[in-house]
């Protein structure tokens, strides 16, 4: 089944122009599926039945996989077997009747504005690494892009004079503005940090590691954790927390939902509207804690 999986991945990349994150998820999920059936001596897709797929989903549940993970796996299976049927590999789509479990929508973790500023202030040194870290943190919060998009940025994707970046996700492209703080941080990194990190190497990527290679998602995730600890932030903190915080802070300060949707690259506005609800809840919480009449009632 390995060949079929690779052809499917190629099709999603070149024909469907699916986002890199989705491609990575499809490939990971289908490799696990392949291993599960290979262990049972089933090596070809046409040997897999609907019953076999249901058994695989039960196997994932017994492993303690979360409903969201199982739902994503089912989405991967449906896309893969639909492709196999459409291209004539299979006569019928055996994944067509798979039912995804109910997934409870989790309210994302969001930093307060004060926590965000405290986090951004941690990388204040002048070493090449700290200049890079500050530029990455400032740009991430200034634009709300995904960490995968941040580490994929190339020098040609950033326009410092006009203060915007060009972000590419699959076949889609969007222009996102950023402000003075991010501009200054990136300028300082480019002038005083990047060349030293590159040493004698060459790279088209905007952000590189200490070996002159492109930064990895995992590497940046560790940096966020490190600076979060220094900032005294005890709650959940990932690069995606800054994306959520960017959206909530914009909406809370009067930004138009449609504009925020465009900057985040959401296909469905209902995904973006979640941030308006979070912002409203935060405002109510602050009101209850700070308004004199409410404070008196709570005592």
pLDDT tens track for 155-198: 999 999 999 999 887 667 889 999 999 999 999 999 999 999 98
Lowest mean pLDDT among 29-33, 51-55, 104-108, 229-233: 104-108
Distance between alpha carbon 134 and the CA centroid of its chain, in Å?
19
What mean pLDDT comes out for the span 272-295? 54
The residue assigned the tokens 């930004």 is 255
- Coil, strand, or helix at residue 164? strand
Asked if 156 and 179 count as a contact pair (C-beta separation under 8 A), the reply is no
Residue 184 lies in a domain: yes
- Coil, strand, or helix at residue 172? strand
Judge if 68 and 200 occupy the same domain.
no
CATH assignment at residue 82: 1.10.150.130
pLDDT tens track for 52-83: 999 999 999 999 888 888 989 999 999 999 99
Which string of b and e fits 203-234 if b means at least 16 CB within 10 Å?
Answer: bebbbbbeebebbebeebeebbeebbeebebe
pLDDT at residue 286, rounded to an integer: 44
Asked if 179 and 163 count as a contact pair (C-beta separation under 8 A), the reply is yes
Q: Please enumerate in sequence order all residues whose Cβ is within 8 A of that of 100, keeping only pairs 6 or more positions apart, or say none.
A: 70, 71, 74, 75
pLDDT at residue 106, rounded to an integer: 64
Residue 139 lies in a domain: yes
Domain boundary among 71, 86, 101: 86
Which string of b and e fits 10-34 if b means at least 16 CB within 10 Å?
Answer: eebbeeeebbeebbebbbebbeebb
pTM of the complete model:
0.64
Number of domains in the chain: 2
Residue 294, pLDDT above cutoff 50: no
User: Which neighbouring-strand residues pair with 154?
Assistant: 205
Domain of residue 26 covers 2-86
Q: Please enumerate in sequence order all residues whose Cβ is within 8 A of that of 204, keeping only pairs 6 or more positions apart, or say none.
A: 154, 155, 156
Judge if 81 and 126 occupy the same domain.
no
Judge if 267 and 131 occupy the same domain.
yes
Domain boundary among 67, 86, 105: 86
Judge if 72 and 216 occupy the same domain.
no
């Amino acid at each position: 089944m390995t060949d079929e999986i690779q052809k499917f991945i190629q099709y999603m990349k070149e024909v469907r122009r699916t986002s890199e994150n989705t491609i990575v998820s499809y490939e990971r999920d289908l490799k696990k599926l392949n291993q599960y059936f290979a262990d049972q001596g089933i090596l070809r897709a046409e040997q897999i039945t609907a019953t076999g797929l249901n058994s695989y989903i039960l196997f994932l549940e017994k492993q303690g996989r979360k409903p969201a993970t199982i739902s994503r796996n089912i989405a991967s299976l449906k896309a893969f077997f639909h492709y196999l049927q459409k291209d004539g590999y299979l006569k019928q789509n055996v994944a067509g009747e798979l039912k995804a479990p109910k997934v409870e929508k989790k309210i994302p973790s969001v930093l307060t504005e004060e926590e965000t500023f405290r986090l951004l202030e941690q990388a204040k040194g002048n070493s090449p690494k700290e200049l890079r870290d500050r530029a990455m943190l400032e740009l991430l919060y200034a634009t709300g892009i995904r960490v995968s998009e941040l580490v994929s940025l190339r020098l040609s994707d950033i326009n410092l004079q006009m203060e915007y970046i060009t972000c590419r996700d699959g076949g889609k492209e969007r222009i996102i503005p950023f402000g003075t703080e991010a501009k200054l941080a990136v300028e300082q990194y480019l002038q005083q940090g990047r060349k030293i990190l590159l040493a004698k190497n060459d790279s088209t990527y905007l952000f590189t590691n200490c070996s002159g290679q492109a930064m990895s998602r995992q590497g940046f995730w560790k940096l966020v954790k490190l600076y979060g600890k220094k900032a005294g932030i005890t709650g959940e903190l990932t690069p995606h927390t800054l994306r959520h915080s960017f959206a909530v802070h914009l909406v809370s300060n009067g930004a138009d939902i449609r504009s925020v949707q465009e900057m985040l690259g959401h296909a469905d506005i209902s995904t973006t509207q979640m941030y308006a609800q979070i912002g409203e809840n935060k405002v109510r919480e602050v009101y209850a804690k700070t308004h004199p009449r409410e404070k008196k009632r709570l005592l």
